[in-house]
Amino acid sequence: MGVDRRKAAVFGGAFALRLLLLVLFPSLPDLLTGRVEVSTPVTSFKRLQEGLFLYTRNVSPYDGGVFHQAPLLLPIFSLLPSSPGFSFPTVVLYSLIDLINANALITIAESGWAVSGRSYSAIRKHIRWDGVTIAAWFLFNPFTIATCLGRSTAVFTSIGILYALSSAVTGKTFNSMLALGFASYLSIYPALLYIPLILLCYDQRAQTAKTCPSTAVFALQHLAIFALSIAGLLGISALLIGDFRAFVSATYGFQLLVPDLTPNVGLWWYFFIEIFDSFREFFLGVFWLHLASYMGGLTIRLRRQPLFVLSALLGIFAVFKPYPSISDASLYFALLPLYRHLFPLMRYTFFAVSALLYATLLGPAFYHLWIYAGSGNANFFYAITLVWSLGLSILLADTIFAALRDEWEYDNPEVRGKDVKQV
């Protein structure tokens, strides 16, 4: 009963905080919507409004060349009041989505898969936070609140990913594939989570069921579910829009080819501004190959910890995807407290947190100096995004080291607590 009261207090407080900020600062949603740290060309609420304007007038939303998001978002937002300056309905919707995501995090935390699995159990598994604490960490994270008030459509991808994970750890593999298909339909990169997610589903099935098919058969069965879910969503989109080719080119083609080099917190935009056009296709392939390559290595090396692999990949996406935002970082930070038992093994937490705070505070200032004050140039803002990426990279590398160290101590109990020297 106490846990239920704590959960209600956390959820109610988070919801009230978002509404309070809206009431006290009515212009805050519009301010955050225009921030490059919150909105990108593929998640911007302003661009969604442009597509919605065309959609409600029976014009293809992709004709304007501004809207690059999934068309199934349009019927949802067409049901909400669209009066200029009236942000209350959309903020309420995004606040409810945050609560749904927090509930999924509670399910993941209480499953225990972050500390033990089918063939692995963390030595320090007693060092952990409960689900409500992890949900509070997510709900009161400033990045989560800014994403909610900025109304980035990245939250719909996040809800698909989190419910894919929560369904996997509870044995609902069919629902997990449907949720991952929904997330991959909205964005391309969640499809890279399929292999570690299917391993998580298989481990959960093998641990609880008396009989389980082979890994290959299990993977193919669920690959069919995953593919059919995406095909179904694409079919509905084709019926909704009509011009299927224009829809695919304006959404997935746009994300793959990265034609819009609007500044963001990522690493792609400045590089492709500076690169010669004749080398653009080559480096596009290199950047995408680099992003996808982490999936195989992490999955093979940390096969016994598929949930950690999924969490690490989300952190990698927050650094290396073409159009990242603080929403991607908030999703990674939401899963990080699941690994409280790894914190004692981490070595560079102070440097990582300091770099992230430094970039968070100075990023808006450097952007203002470049765009508005005219006393700086693009190097000002890109330098601070490099610091942001460096902080995330240090944190990622440190958590992966801690996971490997914990796994090594599990296999070799006699070396627990001893220093490791590289020869």
First to last CA, the chain: 54
Q: Is the residue at 422 inside a domain?
A: no
- Euclidean distance between CA atoms 167 and 226, whole angstroms: 14
**How many residues would you count in the chain?**
423
Report the range of poorest mean pLDDT among 119-128, 194-203, 410-419: 410-419
> Would you list the DSSP string of 80-131?
S---TT--HHHHHHHHHHHHHHHHHHHHHHHHTTTTB-SS-B-TTTTS---H
Asked if residue 421 belongs to a domain, the reply is no
Q: For 156-204, what is each residue's pLDDT tens digit? A: 999 999 999 999 999 899 999 999 999 999 999 999 999 999 999 999 9
Q: In this predicted model, what pLDDT tens digit does every residue of 28-40 receive, in sequence order?
A: 998 999 899 999 9
Q: How far apart are CA 363 and CA 32, in angstroms?
A: 14
Shortest CA distance to 256 belongs to which of 289, 294, 223?
289
Q: What is the mean pLDDT of the chain?
A: 90
In a domain, 265, yes or no: yes
| Each residue's pLDDT tens digit, 364-397 | 999 988 988 877 788 889 999 999 999 999 999 9
pLDDT tier, 2 (very low <50, low <70, confident <90, very high otherwise): very low
Residue 420 lies inside a defined structural domain of this protein:
no
Is 137 domain-assigned? yes
Whole-Å CA distances, 117 to 104, 111, 113, 125, 407: 19, 10, 6, 11, 12
User: Which CA distances in Å does 338 have to 10, 62, 172, 207, 311?
Assistant: 18, 40, 20, 21, 9
Please tell me the number of Cα atoms within 13 Å of 336 on its side-chain side: 24
Quote the domain boundaries for residue 185: 5-415
Query: How many structural domains does the chain have?
Result: 1
**Higher per-residue pLDDT: 83 or 302:** 302
Confidence of residue 88 (pLDDT cuts 50, 70, 90): confident
Contact 238, 244 (CB under 8 A): yes
Does 26 reside within a domain? yes
Residue 423 within a domain: no
Q: Is 248 inside a domain boundary?
A: yes
Which tokens hold the place of 221?
């069965």
Helix locations, 140-279, DSSP H: 142-150, 154-169, 173-186, 194-208, 215-241, 244-248, 254-257, 268-274
